[in-house]
Amino acid sequence: MVDLAKITEPLSLNRFGPRSHGPLVLELDLTEGVVDESPGDPLSQLMNRRKQQYLEVLEGIRRGARDPGVAALIVRVDARHLGPGKVQELRDTIADFRATGKPAVAWADTFGEVGDGNLSYYLATAFSRIALSPTGLVGLSGLMSRATFYKGALDKLDVRFEGGARHEYKNAINPYTQTAYTDAHREAIGRIIESMNDQVVEAVATTRGLTTERVRELIDTAPILAREALEAGLVDRLAYRDEVYADLFAQVRGEEEKSPEPALQFVVRYHRRHTAPPKPKFVDDGDHIALISASGGITLGRSRRSPLGGAVMGSDTVCAAFRAARQDPRVKAVVFRVDSGGGSAIASDLIRRESQLTREAGKPVITTMGDIAGSGGYYVALGSDAIVAQPATITGSIGVLTGKPVLGALKERFGITSDSVRQGAHAAMFDSEEGFSTSEWERLNTLLDTIYEDFVGKVAAARGRTWDEIHAVAKGRIWTGADAEERGLVDELGGVATAVRLARDRVGAGALPVRSFPRTHPLDRLRQHESSEDLAAEPQTVLSAWGPLEHMAARLGLPAAGPLSMPGTWEIR
């Protein structure tokens, strides 16, 4: 088992002096959601301090596991803001907390109102006790993924979509070219749902002392009423919040008559109280492992928040972080945390290159995947020494796509006309007025073939396989982390803790602390920047991965990040 007690920085847990109260009970409310990555600018960081950072939640629980002053953990479970990969990583962290002998209690008003409680209940099974409100439900109803197809509507509007993909499993354009699943599309999605559902069933059966056959029977009766859930052994008690807390406090309170009352503290608040603030770069902070986190669609330019919500992984920002880590003598290894459905092929390759250079400079790089790390999100991992994924991580999608809508007939229907003046046979290649010409199709197919062959070739080189071996598991197909490991696309199953263990093993320097990188200090932003190698001076360029198709791609709902994007949006219900 991974020694999670050694992952976070070895700061004194008693630097604020002895506690004047009773045993500490750590508390976590997941209904408030978590954010996955801290913003880079100071103002946003300050405003974000009120939000629960996902990594801080994990580190706070790990810290509490080894703190003798922490007696228990109680969590209000809700996984609506978490994907399957993060749920599995959190489950592993809870399991390690329980391994210390301390009680970990999960409670919920309901696991889904009338359904969609699969991930929430799956997370709850990691705890030593599960409590459910007497009027609650267990929405353990099985998993489903649905795709919506727009071709029929586009046909009625006289809109035609022209595009290409490599190969049959790269299906992000299928909603605009098909009216239902193709055989390849259905095969890939069906296997994803089957693999994830098997993982949930196995976990419920193991933790609740049931057979997998019995769990599948219960799933087919969902949503399950509270009393039915108690009788079936899915929960340990039906109770309201006050009763759940009172029971736990009674358990951890000392046996003496005048024992002090237990105290509650949120996990993130507890973690921040015991974490030193970042130091300016000119202050020696000791040897450590750098944790570089990157999430969102991959684009050229700087990482930022998308106007439509969510993060954007900018190649300039991530590449600068790798360069800084490579040049910092205190950084002995890098753990690269990726959560992305892909995007720009060029930006993905730039990040892969900097990761590879860091590894070749003698600093091990271990990539750990979050909920999704496919297409470009898999590409950026190819420069690392090893790849770690959760069993339910969506990864693979080694392929490429591009295309455009043809709107000429629609505009003509409404009397809209246009004219153009051009020089060059392919000047209007990506214009939406007319379809691709024969020569444009030739150029487009050459582009797709070249990108795909290069992508597969880089995967083959990184994984020590032949081109044909990788092509057999590529073709744009997505896999769960468990299936990807079986096919040689992933080295080991796990999360950040597993990646840290692998990095420490490769460094051979003992239990090096792990620090988010870069840890910019406000003073760093006041000093003059030396050059483009200075991490604080990263370029401000913001470019579109779709080039001239940016606005049209957005209107059609295509992945904003670019052609190395995974198909569809991923919400497992």
Identify whether residues 308 and 230 lie together within a single domain. no
Whole-number pLDDT of residue 563: 56
Cα(476)–Cα(18) distance, rounded to whole angstroms?
57
Identify whether residues 337 and 251 lie together within a single domain. no
**In sequence order, what E strands does 167-257 have?**
224-225, 237-238
Whole-number pLDDT of residue 6: 47
CATH code assigned at 119: 3.90.226.10
Q: Is 319 exposed, middle or buried (0-12, 13-18, 19+ CB in 10 A)?
A: buried
Identify whether residues 230 and 263 lie together within a single domain. yes
Q: Is residue 537 part of a domain?
A: yes
Q: Is the peptide bond before 223 cis (omega within 30 degrees of 0)?
A: yes
Whole-number pLDDT of residue 311: 83
Cα(316)–Cα(208) distance, rounded to whole angstroms?
47
Q: Which run of H or of E encompasses 254?
A: none
| Banded model confidence at residue 511, pLDDT cuts 50, 70, 90 | confident
168: pLDDT strictly greater than 80: yes
221: pLDDT strictly greater than 50: yes
Identify whether residues 364 and 226 lie together within a single domain. no
Q: Is residue 127 part of a domain?
A: yes
Q: Is residue 173 part of a domain?
A: no
Whole-number pLDDT of residue 108: 97
Whole-number pLDDT of residue 49: 57
| Banded model confidence at residue 534, pLDDT cuts 50, 70, 90 | low
Whole-number pLDDT of residue 551: 45
Distances (CA, A) of 97 to 2, 5, 281, 523: 12, 10, 34, 37
Range of the domain at 555: 288-403+431-565
Q: Is residue 49 part of a domain?
A: yes
pLDDT digits (tens, 9 = 90+) for 4-46: 444 444 444 444 444 446 899 999 999 988 887 655 545 455 5
Q: How many CB atoms lie within 10 A of CB 294?
A: 24
Whole-number pLDDT of residue 97: 97
The residue-averaged pLDDT of 511-521 equals: 82
444, amino acid identity: L
Q: Is residue 409 part of a domain?
A: no
Whole-number pLDDT of residue 310: 73
pTM: 0.85
The residue-averaged pLDDT of 109-129 equals: 91
pLDDT digits (tens, 9 = 90+) for 233-270: 999 999 999 999 999 999 998 765 667 889 999 999 99
pLDDT digits (tens, 9 = 90+) for 328-358: 999 999 999 999 999 999 999 999 999 999 9
**In sequence order, what E strands does 325-411 have?**
331-340, 342-343, 365-374, 386-389, 394-396, 400-406
Domain end marker among 209, 244, 273: 273
Q: Torsion angle, CA of 17/18/21/26, rounded to 10 degrees?
A: 80
Identify whether residues 232 and 376 lie together within a single domain. no
Whole-number pLDDT of residue 564: 61
Going by the DSSP 8-state scheme, the letter that residue 304 receives in this structure is: E
Mean pLDDT score of the chain, rounded to an integer? 86
Structure tokens at 125: 């099974």
pLDDT digits (tens, 9 = 90+) for 52-84: 899 999 999 999 999 999 999 999 999 888 999
Q: Is residue 150 part of a domain?
A: no
417, amino acid identity: T
Identify whether residues 526 and 378 lie together within a single domain. yes
Q: Is residue 171 part of a domain?
A: no
Cα(403)–Cα(553) distance, rounded to whole angstroms?
9
Distance of CA 534 to the CA centre of its chain: 28
Identify whether residues 253 and 371 lie together within a single domain. no
Identify whether residues 385 and 474 lie together within a single domain. yes
pLDDT digits (tens, 9 = 90+) for 38-56: 555 454 555 555 678 999 9
Whole-number pLDDT of residue 15: 42
Overall residue count recorded for the chain in this entry: 573
Pairwise pLDDT comparison (277 vs 390), residue with the higher score: 390
Domain end marker among 273, 300, 333: 273
DSSP result, 437-504: -HHHHHHHHHHHHHHHHHHHHHHHHHHT--HHHHHHH-TT-EEEHHHHHHTTS-SEE--HHHHHHHHH
Q: Is residue 355 part of a domain?
A: yes
pLDDT digits (tens, 9 = 90+) for 414-465: 899 888 898 999 998 989 999 999 999 999 999 999 999 999 999 999 999 9
Distances (CA, A) of 561 to 99, 451, 508: 41, 16, 38
Identify whether residues 456 and 547 lie together within a single domain. yes
Identify whether residues 122 and 243 lie together within a single domain. yes
Whole-number pLDDT of residue 349: 96
- Strand, helix or coil for residue 372: strand
Whole-number pLDDT of residue 488: 96
Tell me how many domains the chain contains.
Answer: 2
Ramachandran angles phi, psi of 231, nearest 5°:
-65, -30
Identify whether residues 331 and 397 lie together within a single domain. yes
278: pLDDT strictly greater than 90: no
Identify whether residues 393 and 456 lie together within a single domain. yes
Cα(250)–Cα(225) distance, rounded to whole angstroms?
28
